[in-house]
A = this chain, B = another copy of it.
């Protein structure tokens, strides 16, 4: 599968209704930011107002710690920003530290760029490289690159008129992970996803912080009213809600630890992850994935790594117990 989070393929192959399934194929927080305060009627009926858009940007700037000298742009999901990047950045090769989220390579290749996949973040880019893409923490393994190394890459690219892109989709609740506080005097483009940590992937909201000429050009490329009225209202409320954010980070850490323990008790080796998913190793990941799917639990495999299984947080004691039972059964049916 290209991405997780769509039960269509699971249902087509194994049947059932969406509500029968436990979807652990994404890194989306199962505890969504509360929607008890519904969007106002005006959020639906009126064109999204510039003032409301600017309020969202102000709150996001504080929440993500974006330095004053960087610009900030909001989009209907970071995915909507990716296709605009190749046209805005100087010609040259693109180095992507991988394996990682595949959309980055897809977008740059589709634009005709030469994409070089680098396996270690501690590398010297080739002379033709003008763009470096690092997902940090990385998806799916959670590998973290230290801010000093990221800053070094940012400086190298800036000297060449290029740009470092850091995708921080899973940086929420990972203390010290974000490069944003370390960008004094040097620019990088940092992508932040709203939907994953706040558990509202259907809302479509994401941000990019970076050099003002790039964020201004991205805003122009997105045209007017890119972010929906409900996304403006809910995003502004959630990004300012530090009490919810802090409590949720503590809860996710507990749940990720519980999930890790469960998997290890069942004999899987957990060797990576973030607070929103874990990456486990098992001899025949595709076999375990299939055996879980027959029990209506959907996980994520990777064609480039036949032993990797990414598992999102079940979101409570009951679904955790369901996963435990299903996993015991699955492992009994798969060659060990």
Contact = CB atoms under 8 A, between A and B. Distances in A.
Interface of A: 2-3, 5-8, 18, 23, 26, 28, 32, 35, 38, 41-51, 76-77, 79-80, 82-84, 87, 103, 107, 110, 195, 199-204, 220-231
Nearest to A39: B202
Contacts of A23: 46
21 contacts: A6-B51, A7-B49, A23-B46, A44-B202, A46-B202, A47-B202, A48-B201, A76-B76, A76-B80, A76-B204, A76-B228, A77-B225, A77-B226, A79-B223, A79-B225, A80-B222, A110-B220, A203-B228, A204-B225, A204-B226, A204-B229
A62 to B, nearest CB: 22
Contact of A221 (B2, B32, B83): B83
Contacts of A87: 87
Given A6-B49, A223-B82, A203 B103 contact: no
A167 B47 CA distance: 19
A46 B200 CA distance: 7
Contact of A35 (B5, B41, B225): B41
